[in-house]
Structures are given as C-alpha cells and as structure tokens.
C-alpha cells in the first residue's frame, strides 16, 4: 500500500516585490513531487502565486496556529523585513517548526517589531540584553534614542546580529551559506538538525512562457555600450553610490558604458544617487528605473553585460539578487565578504572590502574594457549554476531536513529548547553543556 505524502505548511511572504516570495514560487512546485504543500502568507500586500495557486492567508497574531498544527511539518521562512515577516514570526513563537533563514542580521527586524508591532521599544532593548548582555543593551539603547549610524549598522551586523530568537522554536534549520552555518553552530553546536544548500536559481518560465523579454531597442539601451545594472532596494550597504562615483571618475570606462539603476530606495539615498549622476554630467549615461515590474526588471537583466550585487556589510545568508544574476548567466561584481567570500574568484569578480575604491576601479575596468574577461566569467557561470544552484537538488535537501527534524524529536528538541532559554553572552560551551544537563534531568524525571 502506497504511503500518503507528508503534509507541509510553508509560511512565506508572497508580496509582489518579495524575493522570498519568488524563491517560494520556485521551490514549492518541486517539493510537491514529495509532499503535499500549502503556502501560507501574511494577509498584506499584492500576492504572487505559488505554482499557479493562491496562498492561504495567515490570521493576525498567531491566529492560524490551530490549522497549522494539523500538518506533518511547518516551515517558516524568516527574513529581516518586519512588514513581510512579523506574522510569520508570531506563528513560529506559538508552534515549533523548521526555519529557513534568509538573513542573519535580524536586529532591524526586532527593533521595528518592538516599535511598530508591540508599541514597546524597550522590548528590543531587553531582547538585546538577554542575548548579548550589557554591551548589547547599551547599543540597543543608543539606536533607539539616536537612530542607526553607518558604524552602528556594521557593528550590529557583525557582532550583534540577533538571529538567535529565530532559532528558539526551531526543529530544523535551513541555511544558504557555510559562513551562516558557522555563525549559528558557534552558539548552538549540533543541537538543531541543519542543512546548508545554496539558493536555487529562480524559475521564471511560468511568468514569461508566452511573453518575451524586452530587447535593448525597446529599453532604449545603446547597442554599442556595456550595460552595468544595479537592482533592488537601494541603500548604503549596496554600494551603488560608490559604484557610480568610481564609474564616473574613469573617463574611458564612462565613455564605453551606461549604468542602469533599477529599483526603489529611501528618498534620501535615491536623492544622493541622482545628485551624483548630475554632478558627473552623466544623466544621459545613468538610467533610473524606479519600481520596475518583474518583467521589466528581468528584461534589463537579460539585456545587461554585468551586474553589481555588492554588499557592505552583508547581512544575508545568501543573495536573491545574486541568484537572479546567475539565472541570467551574467558576470557579477560582488564584495568579498560574508557568504560571497565562499564563492570562487574565477566565476565572480570580487571587490576587496578593505581596499574598496581601488578594487572596484580595477574590476570595472576589466569587466567593461575586456570582452574576453566577461566571456570567460559567463562561461564559468554556466558551469557553476548547474553544479551549485539546481532547484531539484535544493528541494531534495529540504525534504532531507524535514525528515531529520521529525527524527530529532524528543531529547534533542528538549536540549535545543533549553539552550534557547540561555543567553548567548554566557558563552557557547556553557550554553550547550547546561542544556544537555537540563535535558538529561528532564529525561530522568520522565517529563
């Protein structure tokens, strides 16, 4: 007799501009070869579909927990947008499940959650104190009073990322880079079953099967220039301002290329980008495409010659923008930090974060002026994509993790649950040892 497929509730934002929604739309249809999967999404935002089906809507404040508890597995996709992930986090607090971590630097999420969701800013300060001790509490207090400076953003990302609360109810953990796995295991060791697999390249065939991308003539892009693309949400970590400044200061590079900036950003940062373009007298060579549809954005990606996905600091476990670039087979300029440091230098053009200006200048010249270099990167990219970003292989890893999370129920989950209640500043070794002793005591008592 054939065994029934396991049932999976897959909690993910599905907003029209959500990269995690795009990831879900790629992964879920493939998972359905091995499981019966329902996508659940927060009620806000225009929705993407998941494999042609509308997602089910999460009720506010954990109100869907009773329905979710009927599934064999519950998967929580967690990222740093409070707007997209607050309701997912609230359900996660009430019902254990497997966590897919898309970002490690979560302090911004929890600060916004405390301010806007709870109307209790002090909750964020207490959380930072609980996890990181007095030093974390002091930094949280400063950011609540004065906002976040550039230096504080870097410090928070590197030393106080605050991903720990996203693991407190986890029965399993999916990560997208070895560097992220190392940071998590430094605190939790092997307490929670973990899989590390690079993000799959996204599948656009359902979106555009009968709608071709626009070409350079339709996009008003010159046929004889190298097109440099930066896309997504524009802010300081994406280094687009630095890219523009260095591009504009090199006359030869500027004459041979155009820059397309496709996406939205804060009013202040977008104004800065426009100001740089004006100061360079480069408005005819810098194109701003604010709020493009997916079809328009991907048309620009398809028409581009190289794509910048630089980040400093890098707060993600992996980059959806990078995965999109890989899908289109485009040479990529990235910062050699975080998960990007794991990537091979013969496939990606890397910028040294300790010598940013000189290395951006050097790589831009190579990529713009040397067509042979660009073609070599494209050839290597095609090989790398098949070996590292295959969606079917990724879904196999997800199913392995779900099975491991079920097998780990019992003493291991008791250890992990106890570790979650011990603040990080006591030190990883003490946390894990105390958790193991506590779990052993629980087992002896029959609880």
Distance CA 154, CA 151 (A): 5
211-389 CATH choice from 3.40.50.720, 3.20.20.140, 3.40.50.2000, 3.90.870.10: 3.40.50.2000
Domain boundaries, the chain: 7-202+392-445, 211-389
7-202+392-445 and 211-389: identical CATH topology: yes
Judging by DSSP bridges, how do beta strands 286-289 and 332-335 pair with one another?
A: unpaired
* Number of alpha carbons in the 13 Å side-chain half-sphere of residue 282: 28
Q: Are 341 and 317 in contact (CB under 8 A)?
A: no
What's the confidence (pLDDT) of residue 447?
38
Weakest-pLDDT range from 66-70, 198-202, 275-279:
198-202
The tokens 């796995």 sit on which residue?
Answer: 181
Weakest-pLDDT range from 69-78, 163-172, 316-325, 432-441:
432-441
Nearest alpha-carbon partner for 162 in 86, 117, 103: 103
What's the confidence (pLDDT) of residue 142?
87
Tell whether the model's pLDDT for residue 330 goes beyond 80: yes
Distance CA 117, CA 283 (A): 41
Which of the pair, 379 or 201, is modelled with greater confidence? Answer: 379
Distance CA 50, CA 14 (A): 8
Alpha helices (H) in 227-339, listed in sequence order: 240-249, 251-256, 267-279, 294-303, 320-327
Query: What is the enclosing helix (H) or strand (E) of 135?
Result: helix 121-146
* Strand blocks (E) in 52-158: 56-57, 73-78, 97-101
* Strand blocks (E) in 156-256: 170-175, 194-196, 226-231
pLDDT (tens digit per residue) in 33-78: 999 999 999 976 656 666 667 889 998 888 899 999 999 999 999 9
Angle between helices 356-369 and 371-388 (to 10 degrees): 100
DSSP category for residue 333: E
Nearest alpha-carbon partner for 281 in 316, 312, 261, 254: 254
C-alpha 241 chain-centroid distance = 21
- Burial environment of residue 438 by CB neighbours within 10 A (0 to 12, 13 to 18, 19 or more): middle
How many Å is the maximal CA-CA distance in the chain? 76
In which order are the strands placed within the sheet that holds 286-289? Answer: 286-289, 257-262, 226-231, 306-308, 332-335, 349-351
Distance CA 185, CA 428 (A): 9
pLDDT (tens digit per residue) in 417-427: 555 555 555 55
Query: What is the enclosing helix (H) or strand (E) of 143?
Result: helix 121-146
Distance CA 273, CA 184 (A): 36
What mean pLDDT is predicted for residues 301-313?
88
CATH class of 7-202+392-445: alpha beta
Q: Are 323 and 199 in contact (CB under 8 A)?
A: yes
């Amino acid at each position: 007799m054939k065994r029934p497929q396991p049932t999976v509730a897959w909690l993910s934002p599905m907003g029209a501009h959500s990269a995690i929604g795009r990831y879900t739309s790629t992964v879920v249809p493939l998972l359905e070869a091995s499981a019966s999967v329902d996508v659940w999404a927060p009620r806000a935002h225009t929705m993407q579909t998941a494999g042609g089906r509308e997602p089910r809507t999460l009720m506010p404040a954990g109100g869907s927990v009773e329905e979710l508890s009927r599934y064999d597995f519950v998967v929580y996709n967690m990222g740093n947008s409070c707007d997209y992930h607050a309701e997912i986090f609230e359900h996660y607090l009430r019902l254990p499940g497997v966590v897919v971590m898309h970002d490690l630097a979560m302090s911004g999420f929890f600060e916004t959650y405390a301010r806007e969701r709870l109307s209790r800013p002090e909750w964020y300060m207490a959380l930072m104190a609980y996890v990181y001790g007095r030093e974390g509490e002091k930094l949280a207090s400063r950011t609540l009073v004065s906002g976040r400076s550039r230096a504080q953003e870097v410090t928070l990302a590197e030393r106080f990322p605050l991903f720990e609360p996203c693991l407190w109810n986890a029965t399993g953990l999916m990560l997208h880079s070895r560097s992220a796995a190392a940071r998590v295991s430094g605190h939790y060791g092997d307490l929670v079953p973990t899989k590390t697999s690079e993000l799959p390249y996204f599948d656009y065939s359902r979106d555009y099967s009968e709608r071709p991308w626009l070409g350079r003539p339709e996009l008003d892009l010159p046929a004889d220039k190298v097109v440099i693309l930066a896309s997504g949400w524009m802010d300081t970590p994406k280094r687009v301002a630095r890219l523009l400044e260095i591009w504009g200061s090199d006359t030869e590079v500027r004459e041979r290329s155009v820059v397309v900036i496709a996406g939205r950003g804060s009013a202040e940062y977008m104004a800065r980008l426009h100001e740089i373009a004006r100061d360079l007298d480069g408005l005819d060579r810098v194109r701003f495409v604010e709020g493009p549809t997916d079809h328009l954005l991907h048309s620009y990606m398809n028409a581009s010659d190289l794509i910048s996905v630089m980040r400093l600091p890098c707060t993600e476990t992996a980059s959806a923008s990078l995965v999109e670039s890989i899908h289109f087979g485009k040479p990529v300029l990235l910062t050699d930090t975080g998960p990007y440091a794991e990537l091979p230098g013969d496939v990606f053009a890397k910028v040294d974060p300790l010598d940013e200006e000189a290395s951006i200048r050097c790589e831009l010249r190579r990529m713009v002026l040397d067509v042979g270099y660009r073609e070599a990167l494209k050839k290597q990219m095609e090989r790398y994509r098949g070996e590292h970003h295959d969606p079917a292989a990724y879904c196999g890893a997800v199913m392995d993790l779900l099975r491991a999370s079920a097998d780990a129920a019992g003493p291991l989950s008791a250890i992990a649950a106890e570790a979650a209640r011990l603040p990080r500043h006591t030190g990883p070794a003490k946390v894990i040892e105390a958790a193991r002793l506590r779990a052993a005591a629980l087992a002896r008592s029959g609880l």
